[in-house]
Every structure is written in C-alpha cells, then in structure tokens.
Chains A and B, each alone.
Chain A
Amino acid sequence: MSNDATLHSHQQELTHGAVAHDDHGNGHEHHHEDSFISKYVFSMDHKMIAKQFLITGIIWAIIGAGFSVIFRLQLAFPDTAFPWLETILGHWAKGGRITPEAYYALVTMHGTILVFFVLTAGLSGTFSNLLIPLQVGARDMASPFMNMLSYWFFFLASMVMMASLFVQTGPASGGWTAYPPLSALGDASIGSRIGMDLWLTSMALFVVSQLLGGLNYISTILNMRTKGMSMTRMPLPIWSFFFTAVLGVLSFPVLLSGFILLLFDRHAGTSFYLSELFVAGKALSNEGGSAILYQHLFWFLGHPEVYIIILPAMGMVSEVLAVNSRKPIFGYLAMVGSLFAIAILAFLVWAHHMFVTGLNPFLGAFFVLLTLLIAVPSAIKVFNWITTIWKGNIRFTPGALFSIGFVSTFISGGLTGIWLGNSSIDIHLHDTYFVIAHFHIVMGVSAFFGMFAGIYHWFPKMYSRYMNNTLGYIHFWITLVGAYCIFWPMHYEGMAGMPRRYYDYSSWESFKQFVELNKFISIVVVAVFATQLLFVFNFFYSIFKGRKLTTTNPWNATTLEWTTPIHPGHGNWPGEIPEVHRWPYDYSKDGKDFIPQTVPVSPDESKH
C-alpha cells in the first residue's frame, strides 16, 4: 500500500474527528519508495492511471485503425489478392482476399474498439484522470482505489475483447451496435456465437470500469476542490469531464440492462427481442419479442455515448485554444451553459437513430425538434472558440493546430447532423455512407483531434519532456487533409444511396461509378494510418528521448497543474495545495501576459 493512499484514509479519519489506529500499518511513515508493482502496475496515482489508460488506448487505436485499413483494401480492390493478408489472417483471408465474414468482423471490431476502447476509455479515461486532481487542486481522486479498479476493469474488458479476436468462429460481427436478432441468435452467423458472448462480457466489464471511473470523477470534482476553487473558477476541461461522467453514470447502466436482456435471450430461451424468426428455413419458437426494444435501450446510451466522446475533447480544446492565443476564453459561462444544455439534450434525442424503424411519425417530429435543438449549444461553442482565437496572439503549437482542426471538423460534421436530424431526409440517408461521413468527421476525427491536442499540450506534464514539434506538424497537416479526403467524398456516395456495411459494391450498377473514388479513399487511408504510426513513434520516443522540460510552466498557462514540480510525486504538490484566487483565463490582462490562478486579485486590477 503506497504512502499516499494511506494519506487519504488518514485524512478521512481526521475530518471525522476520531482518533484512529491506522488501517494499513505504515501510515505514519511519510516517504518510502514504491515498489515497481505499486508504482507502475497496480498504481493508485491518478497520473500513472492516466498513462495506463492512454497507452492501452494507443494500442487499441493501432489495432482498430489497422482493421479499417484492411477492410478499406477490400472496398478499393475487391478483385485483387493481397497474399500478406492470408499470412496474418489465415483462413479469414483465403487466397489473399478477406472473406465476407472477416469483413463484417473487422467492421464490427473497428467500431467497437474505436468508440468504446479508444475514444471513451482512452480519451476521457486518460484526461479525466490526469487533469481533474491537477486542475482542481487535489492530491488524488476521491477514491484512488476505485480509480485503480476502474483501469483494471478496463484492462479485463480489453483482454476479453482481445481474446474474442482469436476464437475459431471469430469475434462479434453484427455491427458495433449489436442489434438483435444477429446478436441474439447463436445460429444467425458465425460471429453470433462465442464471439458475441465474449463481446457482451467484455462490454459488461467495460461498463463497470466506466461507472467506477465516473463516480470518482464526479465526487472528486464536487468534493475535493482546493480552497478558492469555486465551480465557476474551474477550467473548462473540468466542466467537460464532469458532464461526461454524469452522462456515463446515467446512461451506461441502461445499456447494461439492454445487454442483460440480450444475454437471457441468447442463453435462457427468453424472447425479449425475438419474435417469429426463421433460421435456415426452420421456424424458431420465440414469440412476442421486439428487436426495436433493444434499439431503444441501446441508443438511450448510444447517443449520450457520442457526447461522452466529444465533450472531453471540447473541454480540452477550449483550454488549449485560450492558452495558445493568449486570450481569455470567450464566454466562459456560455461555454459551461452549452455543455449543460448538450448533456440534457443528449438524453432526449436517441430516437433520431431510429427514424426508419417504423417509429410513429408524430413521435418522430418531437425527436426531430429536440435533435435540431442540439445545434444551438453546438453553434454557441463554435462561435466562442472562434472568438477566442480571433485577433489572438496565436502560438501555433501542434496542440493549438489540432484544436483549430477540431473546430473545423466539428463544424463540417455537425452541419451534416442537421441534415440527418430531419426525419424526412434521414429516410433516404439512413444507413448510407452519408451517416458514415457525418459521424466520422464530427466524432471520429474531431475527438481524435481533441485527444491529440491534449496529448501534445499535456505531454510535458505527463512525462516531463516535450514531444517533437516537426513530427507534430507533419502529423497534423497530413491528418487534417487526409481526413477530409477520406470522409468528404463519402457524403456523395451516401447521397447516391450507397449503403454502409456492404462487402463489395462493384456488382451494383448504381455504385460502379464510385470504384475509383473508393480507391482514392483507401489510398489516403493508408497514408493517414502511416502518419498516425509516426505520431506513435514520436510519443514513445519522446517519453525517453524528448527534449527535457526545464520550467514548471512551459506554456505560460494559468491553471494549477503547472504549479506542480516538473516531476510531480504522488500527492502532486510537495507542500500545501495552492489556494485559488481567480478564474483560469486571465490572459493578456492589465498589460500582463498571464496571471496564474494562485495570484491574489490586487485592488487596482480591472474586472474581466
């Protein structure tokens, strides 16, 4: 048990005014070396847990994106054999062409991995852990132990999902949304067998991990802020992590209940989702179930989930933009208010994923209205980001570039959301490449940009070194241009009616026109993927060989994390936790470049 964890229990006892014998035996010994295991493996230090989430996320990102490269090759060159595919995939790519089953498995795993393991756990897991205690001024999370459990549940979920890739019948392959009946009937496809069970097990573990993490984030933000850190003095990333955690804690359990019913349908002969089905010419006995019921339960999580992914990115981008344009964030309260509005609305729009399920059009109209309402807080945020950098003294660090890129892709992808939000248009566009284009730009690319911005910006805090800037610029420009080249053309394919999740379009007369376009997209995919590997190289190289940090506050930022030592120990501040006297965005004020949050307000200072 590490010294600092005992600090915690000790402190709790102190606050209750009772004298306690220490639970852990060594609580009065102030500094003792952590063992390798307690420092790097079963660590309870939020900073180490953040790194664990990040590196696990990076590994998953390489796998998940690698899958997309493989299935994009199939889409671009449906008639070409790639013998190396057979080498790595074996019978899944007989003769160098992936089989339809492999294609569906790859698409499904790509979605699951990127949405849940990379952009949920890897993104908010990393930065909520790293930044919440550092920016609110706390020694650690409310419960460091639960925090550690949160990572290890994620790790278990990862292991189970990883194992599912290697079972003989393959991983789940009915899409990342796991709709029944494909997901409910073991005989429906080979991916519906053990792969599906492992998928459900893994996701259940994942939900537990998210709940443990979310509980901690919320109670840390509400309870553990340092003196002077009122809610309205919190940096915007903290607000975004807060709403993210609230969304997760309230919506993941609903997903879990949906999964529990699914498990019963799979293994206990119940008929929650199944009705009047024929498999291989045989009628099943299941009666009275409704597959749409699952969709309601899934999207009640599914829609908040997309905001769970994007809100942390929004928060970090706000921070990075303000710091690097040396200007206060424009409209702090409007930023918080719009995060709040998005969080509320996120629970009220799920049926926009179900316009074509036979949803009552009258009910659909309400969902159209509520969906379109989300555009309002989204637009407020975009406006505020632009006005924040407007006439700013911008430092184009890689973090700043990725933040600006985020704003760009969030606009492009958000606008197509307004198309899809109109049920009458969606009836045509649903399940086409238009939807793929929409959510990859607004969620996939934007969230990755937010994550990259966060990594470049806070890397010095994590590893006390900088990442290489030149590689960062190359990474940014190729990724930005590449992402648009990949996803922009998909809008046209979608408008022409090209459906998603098809194995081979070349046999359709109406989609033959896109053969060359698909080739173009796939080639760009390969280039962009290679560039991400460059980033991964930069990341790991810089951990060991990057330029060393010589100052505690490399970006001249105002927030508390930069008041910790270059190598912060467990507990973050060696002495007292600093007291906070002002909001976090006093940049270019009264002739000063920046005023840290810890500086008391002087009487002759102007009001912001």
Chain B
Amino acid sequence: MQAMSVQRKKIHPHKYSLWIAMGSISMMFIGFTSAYVVKRAQANWLAFELPHIFWISTAVILVSSGTIQMAVKQFKERNMRRYKQLITITALLGVVFAACQCFGFAQMSNHGLPLSGPVSASFIYVIVGVHMLHVLGGVVALLIMFARAYRTRVRVYSPVPIEVASLYWHFVDALWIYLLIFLSIAR
C-alpha cells in the first residue's frame, strides 16, 4: 500500500491513455482521409457541395465544447447542481449534433447522392458517420458521469473522470473541424 504511493506519477494514467487513444483515433481518420485523397486523384470523381446543415452541427458541437468546459469548472468548485445541468446540456448537444449529421445524410440522398452512389458521396457517409459514432460514444460517457453524480452512497471527488471526458469531447470537436475543413477544401 505504501509502496504504491511512492510510484512516480506525472500525469494521470487515464489521461495519458486518452492522449494515446486520441493519436490512435486520429490515425484512423488519417487513413480515411488519405484514402479519400488517393481516390480523388483518380478519374470519375464527382464533386458536390456538403449539406448546409453541417454548418449548424459545427456550431452545435462548438457550443458543447464550451458547456463541458464550464462543467469541469463547476465540478471543481463543487457546484454539483450546475455541473449536472451542464453535462446534461452537453450530452443533449451531442445528440443534436448527431441528428444534424443524419439530417445531412438524408439531404444528400434526396439529392441523388445515396450511400451506394458516387464514391465521393460514399466517403462522406462513412467518414462523417464514423465520426458521429465517436461523438455518440462521448455522449454515453457523459450519461455514465451523470448517473455517477446522482449516486448518494458513493461520492466522487476526483475531477479526473470529468477532465478525461472533456478532453475527449474537445478532441472529437477538433476532429470534426478538421474533417469539415478537409472535406470542404478537397472536394
């Protein structure tokens, strides 16, 4: 027991693991976007404009990054009521984001760009879809945090879980910005 505490610690191992996981997830999207670049350089590439609703989802996810940051702050100040409100809002914004993306998919397929259509469209579905799953993963994490905050028997004072969650949230946000810029420029 004592020996455990002499072990050296600079950065919390969970945060560390998250940083590495973020590198890993980034590689996956680098894989997708490089496949996109390779494919785009070949013949028969159909360019089209991204659904406009993607701009709304961008705004939504940017706001949610703000709310989760505030949630971390409230947690540290032990304003648990505000904290619970803020993570609920963040999770809701995450769901709204996903809904917007799905709406975008519907718009695309209504405009003659279904999933099985031109490769350029298929790529949008897959890349945006996989990103959306990562956001929803974050929503699930927030729901767990929410449930934890309601437990009365066990109280959590360590800010690490919410810090890890917010780091992840900012990451999927940044990832979306990257994808949006990439997909808008490399059409």
Contact = CB atoms under 8 A, between A and B. Distances in A.
Contacts of A227: 6-8
A293 B156 contact: no
Contact of B28 (A7, A146, A253): A253
Q: For B6, B20, B45, which residue has the most chain A Cβ atoms within 10 angstroms?
A: B20
Interface in A260-274: 260-261, 264, 268-272
B93 to A, nearest CB: 26
Contacts of A591: none
B21 A254 contact: no
A439 B17 CA distance: 33
A272 to B, nearest CB: 6
Contacts of B14: 12, 142-143
Contacts of B116: 268-271
Interface stretch (B35-43, B65-73, B135-143, B173-181): B35-43
Interface string A240-254: 000000000111111
Contact of B32 (A13, A257, A270): A257
A256 interface: yes
Nearest to A287: B44
Given A12-B158, A253-B27, A257-B28, A223 B13 contact: yes
Given A15-B5, A287-B44, A293-B39, A254 B27 contact: yes
A142 B17 CA distance: 9
Interface string B9-22: 11111101100110
15 contacts: A11-B5, A15-B9, A20-B157, A138-B7, A215-B24, A222-B16, A223-B10, A224-B13, A254-B27, A255-B31, A256-B31, A257-B31, A260-B126, A264-B126, A272-B122
Given A249-B23, A253-B31, A16 B1 contact: no
A346 to B, nearest CB: 14
B44 A19 contact: no
B35 A215 contact: no
Nearest to A255: B31
Contact of A296 (B11, B35, B115, B159): B35
B79 to A, nearest CB: 17
Contacts of A272: 35, 39, 119, 122-123
B25 interface: yes
A8 B12 CA distance: 12
Count class of interface residues, chain A: 35 or more
Given A7-B1, A257-B35, 4 more contacts: A20-B155, A253-B25, A268-B116, A271-B119
B2 interface: yes
B130 to A, nearest CB: 7
B13 to A, nearest CB: 4
Given A249-B23, A261-B35, A271-B119, A21 B154 contact: yes
A310 interface: no
Contacts of B157: 13, 18-20
Q: For A23, A222, A288, which residue has the most chain B Cβ atoms within 10 angstroms?
A: A288
A260 B133 CA distance: 13
Nearest to A220: B13
B106 to A, nearest CB: 16
A260 B17 CA distance: 24
A222 to B, nearest CB: 7
Given A11-B5, A16-B158, A139-B4, A269 B30 contact: no
Contact of B2 (A251, A288, A576): A576
Contacts of B126: 260-261, 264, 270
B76 to A, nearest CB: 11
B160 interface: yes
B3 interface: yes
Count class of interface residues, chain B: 35 or more
A268 B117 CA distance: 10
A607 interface: no
Contacts of B39: 272, 290, 293
A300 B31 contact: yes
A66 B29 CA distance: 38
Contact of A223 (B11, B44, B130): B11
Interface in A128-146: 138-139, 142-143, 146
Interface string B89-103: 000000000000000
A526 interface: no
Interface string A25-48: 000001000000000000000000
A218 interface: yes
A219 B158 contact: no
A260 to B, nearest CB: 6
A473 interface: no
A289 interface: yes
Contacts of A139: 3-4, 7
B118 interface: yes
A11 B16 CA distance: 16
Contacts of A603: none
Interface string A276-297: 0000000000011110010011
A573 interface: yes
A577 interface: yes
Contacts of B29: 257
Contacts of A287: 44
A270 B122 contact: yes
Nearest to B3: A576
Contacts of A220: 13
Given A227-B8, A577-B3, A219 B38 contact: no
Contact of B9 (A146, A223, A297, A577): A223
Contacts of B12: 12, 15-16
Interface string A198-218: 000000000000010011101
Interface in B117-165: 118-119, 122-123, 126, 130, 154-160
A287 B121 CA distance: 13
A18 B158 contact: yes
Nearest to B28: A253
B31 A223 contact: no
Nearest to A9: B158
A226 interface: yes
A503 B117 CA distance: 38
User: 10 closest Cβ contacts across the A-B interface?
Assistant: A269-B116, A253-B28, A254-B31, A257-B31, A142-B13, A576-B3, A270-B122, A219-B16, A18-B157, A11-B4
B156 to A, nearest CB: 7
